[in-house]
Structure 1
Amino acid sequence: MKKERMGVGMGLNLLLLVAMVAANILSLYHLSSLRNHSPPSTTPHTDPVPDHLLHQLHTIRATISHLTRIRSATSSSGASSSLPPPPPELLLYSRIAPIASSCSDHPDLLHLYMNYTPFSPCPRDSLSVAEPLLLRGCHPLPRRRCFSPTPPKPLLPSSLPSHPFPSSLPDAAVLWPPTSPCRSFSCLPSHLGFDLKSTESSRFLSARSALDLPLHQLLAIANAAGAAPIRLGLDIAGGTGTLAARLKLTLNATLLTTTMNLGAPYSEAAALRGVVPLHAPLQQRLPVHDGAMDLVRTGHAVNRWIPVPALEFLMFDADRVLKPGGLLWVDHFFCKAADLDTVYGPLIARLGYKRIKWAVGNKTDSGGTKYGEVYLTALLQKPIGPPPLAANIVSGIGKA
């Protein structure tokens, strides 16, 4: 292999040498011809360069540039081949996490996304093109020279809700997609989180089963466990921001909500309620500093449909942003009953957190009955120091 690489390198060097000699000979020929044919005159005069000579010079110079690039690529590949391969975990993460290199894996979507007129409004295709790219790991998005579309008429401050649980949200605040069947918030199904006055206003206030964790119970646990006060938090896949709105009213706490507008304007609804939406997919590294959050909650979208490696990255990223003693709330995670004991339970246990609440119940809808699924609601506390039994936790990695 090394002999072949050395042979290729010597061949490229020889070609470069020949090309450079030819370029120099042509240049000398051109100069000598000008000197021989220039008439005697006190005024400097230069004959135009013949077109065929210019063409030959340009061709040789382009060849030299091309050979130089090939030689540089060959030498760099030879140098990199002596380096150890990237860690397998990094390669795994690069296939599931949103990094810009993933954009090249989806040229059709990328071509659609970049098909716009520069310095004009961007196409209104966030649902059909932009979010599919995000979900496939193409992030940050490459569109740079067009302006984000905005509603034709700006909302007056008086039309914005003054309460995070208003009776309605202004429809004019949303650029409804042309293909959307709905053109108003009232058209959206209430179970998606847009019925703010009745359905959402009662969420997190009472418990209908052991799977629910009302806020009064959460705050009592936080006080007893030394995790209070809750000032900063993160709600992963938090829908329209109901938990953030409730904690804002109850504790004046700031809770960031990660959202995706998959079929409905979740981000716009959260922003209209006065809470901060982070438009980010589940596999994205959380845009929060290490050890800054008092509380991290995972919502209903965090479930068994997420690939196990991506879910493990998500859990350990939640650990990264939680402060020591902070609370991790896994809310209504669902999976097959058999997988809870063999896959997801051990995955959560590898964090080494203290179990405060661990409730399991049957998922009784049609999908849950068909696939034998269960719900898990867990409240866990990050240890102050190193996780207990760290050696046992590390040795269990990969067995789930």
Structure 2
Amino acid sequence: MGYTMGLNLVLLMAMVATNILSLYHLSSSINQTPKPPPPQPVPDYLLHQLHTIRATMNHLTRHHPDTSSTSSSGTNKAAVPSDLILYSQLSPIASSCHNHPDLLTKALILRGCHPLPRRRCFTKTSSKPTSSLPQNPFPSSLPSSNVLWTKYSCKSFDCLNRFNPNLGFDPAQDIANFMTYRSELDLPIPQLLQIAKAANSVVRLGLDVGGGTGTFAARMKLYNITVVTTTMNLGAPYNEAAALRGLVPLHVPLQQRLPVFDGVLDLVRCGHAVNRWIPLTVLEFLLYDMDRVLRGGGYLWLDHFFSKGVDLEKVFAPLIGKLGYRKVKWATASKTDSSGLKNGEVYLTALLQKPVSK
């Protein structure tokens, strides 16, 4: 009912605007003199309004349900469980999921509907979890019995460490990470905190985007700084590993809006997951969303962002520059592994400070 009234209102506005435009041209033609002056151009603001109305009408017409086919499609819509779209009414982002329940099931299959509705089912957990968990974020080992290994090729943390010791599943090996200065690309945590202190800017709350098993958050925890980590279980239990270290993992893909309120964080760090493979539009939305959660005076840290050298100069540097942040550190160096040499890639480490709004 409300949808139809809204469409009728838009149509009425379009009709009124069209009549006004017709009267405008009619009056100019009636009042012609023997030597009429040049016709006055239609004001830009009126053309813009008509264009907006026309675009809105087209959009609403495309998405307006066809009442003639309601009866024929009623059986399909009735098959969609009502609880499936219950929580889609609470968020305008998910209005499409609510207005088109017949498409919702397809979106769920493709994992493309955001936000996903809540489920009414029980989640499987490990049948033999350990009775004690380490308080130290850098324990000698992680208990494998707390993880469901059925969907992974490895069945223990020891297997993952043998497969690749650099994945972050051996916290004792990562204890020196973020603490040493080996090249211009490195930014040790003590130096970061000294920079913030010199600028009279406190660092208390942070977000580590694509932080793996949470080593950065673990290091910051030892400085009494709270950092939550976004991570995905891509081939290994990264979320479980971070939680076993006493850290907070957020199971959030890079294309999803960060589940943090506006302007509350002091620091956002982008780990190795944020690099040139992200589509440019997605990366732009990610940067602006990180700007949204940062407070004025907060820091954005791009840690070893890599791309082709020419793209960094012509694409990514201007994109980052759109934020208008102050460059505290901006260091580049060639990426010397086989992929970097083949593609002419470079690393960028940048520490940028968000300006305070006036």
Q: What TM-score do the two structures reach when normalised by structure 1? A: 0.64
**Of 127, 141, 154, which aligns to 1:168?**
141
Paired residue for 1:225?
199
Q: 2: distance between equivalents of 1:84 and 1:271?
A: 52
User: Would the alpha carbon gap of residues 99 and 238 (structure 1) be closer, same or farther in structure 2, given more than 3 Å must change?
Assistant: farther
User: Would the alpha carbon gap of residues 104 and 300 (structure 1) be closer, same or farther in structure 2, given more than 3 Å must change?
Assistant: farther
Paired residue for 2:309?
337
Paired residue for 1:206?
180
- For residue 146 of structure 1, report the CA deviation from its aligned partner: 1.5
Q: Which amino acid aligns with 1:243?
A: F
Q: 2: distance between equivalents of 1:240 and 1:260?
A: 10
Give me the CA root mean square deviation. Answer: 2.5
**Of 167, 192, 214, which aligns to 1:192?**
167
Q: 2: distance between equivalents of 1:343 and 1:106?
A: 36
Q: 2: distance between equivalents of 1:209 and 1:361?
A: 9
Is 1:369 matched up with 2:334? Answer: no
User: Would the alpha carbon gap of residues 385 and 148 (structure 1) be closer, same or farther in structure 2, given more than 3 Å must change?
Assistant: same
Per-residue CA deviation, residues 20-42 of structure 1 (Å, 9 max, x unaligned), is: xxxxxxxxxxxxxxxxxxxxxxx
Paired residue for 1:253?
225
**Of 150, 153, 176, which aligns to 2:128?**
153
- For residue 285 of structure 1, report the CA deviation from its aligned partner: 1.2
User: Would the alpha carbon gap of residues 84 and 279 (structure 1) be closer, same or farther in structure 2, given more than 3 Å must change?
Assistant: farther
- For residue 217 of structure 1, report the CA deviation from its aligned partner: 0.9
Matches within 5 A, 1:1-400: 83=53, 85=55, 101=96, 110-111=108-109, 133=111, 137-142=112-117, 144-156=119-131, 158=132, 160-178=133-151, 180-188=152-160, 189-198=164-173, 200-228=174-202, 230-249=203-222, 251-385=223-357
Question: Percent identity, aligned pairs only?
Answer: 59
Per-residue CA deviation, residues 69-122 of structure 1 (Å, 9 max, x unaligned), is: 9xx988776666665647xxxxxxxxxxx95858987966835xxxxxxxxxxx
Paired residue for 2:66?
none
Contact 2:255 2:286 in 1 (8 A): yes
Contact 1:357 1:379 in 2 (8 A): yes
Paired residue for 1:31?
none
User: Would the alpha carbon gap of residues 100 and 283 (structure 1) be closer, same or farther in structure 2, given more than 3 Å must change?
Assistant: farther
In structure 2, the residue corresponding to 1:300 is in which secondary structure? coil
User: Would the alpha carbon gap of residues 193 and 226 (structure 1) be closer, same or farther in structure 2, given more than 3 Å must change?
Assistant: same
| Equivalences, count | 276
Query: Structure 2: any 5+ residue segments left out of the alignment?
Result: 15-52, 57-92
Q: 1: distance between equivalents of 2:94 and 2:167?
A: 29
Q: 2: distance between equivalents of 1:99 and 1:209?
A: 45
User: Would the alpha carbon gap of residues 143 and 358 (structure 1) be closer, same or farther in structure 2, given more than 3 Å must change?
Assistant: same
Q: 2: distance between equivalents of 1:240 and 1:221?
A: 26
Contact 1:361 1:374 in 2 (8 A): yes
Contact 2:142 2:170 in 1 (8 A): no
Q: 1: distance between equivalents of 2:108 and 2:266?
A: 38
Q: Which amino acid aligns with 1:286?
A: L
In structure 2, the residue corresponding to 1:190 is in which secondary structure? coil
Contact 1:100 1:140 in 2 (8 A): no
Q: 1: distance between equivalents of 2:312 and 2:295?
A: 27
Per-residue CA deviation, residues 19-70 of structure 1 (Å, 9 max, x unaligned), is: xxxxxxxxxxxxxxxxxxxxxxxxxxxxxxxxxxxxxxxxxxxxxxxxxx9x
Q: 1: distance between equivalents of 2:10 and 2:264?
A: 38
Per-residue CA deviation, residues 237-264 of structure 1 (Å, 9 max, x unaligned), is: 1111111110111x21110111111111
Q: Which moved more, 1:75-84 or 1:339-348?
A: 75-84
Contact 1:234 1:256 in 2 (8 A): yes
User: Would the alpha carbon gap of residues 254 and 100 (structure 1) be closer, same or farther in structure 2, given more than 3 Å must change?
Assistant: farther
Q: What TM-score do the two structures reach when normalised by structure 2? A: 0.71
Q: 1: distance between equivalents of 2:139 and 2:296?
A: 36
Q: Which amino acid aligns with 2:189?
A: L
User: Would the alpha carbon gap of residues 225 and 85 (structure 1) be closer, same or farther in structure 2, given more than 3 Å must change?
Assistant: farther
Q: Structure 1: which 4+ aligned runs deviate by more than 2 Å? A: 72-86, 98-111, 137-143
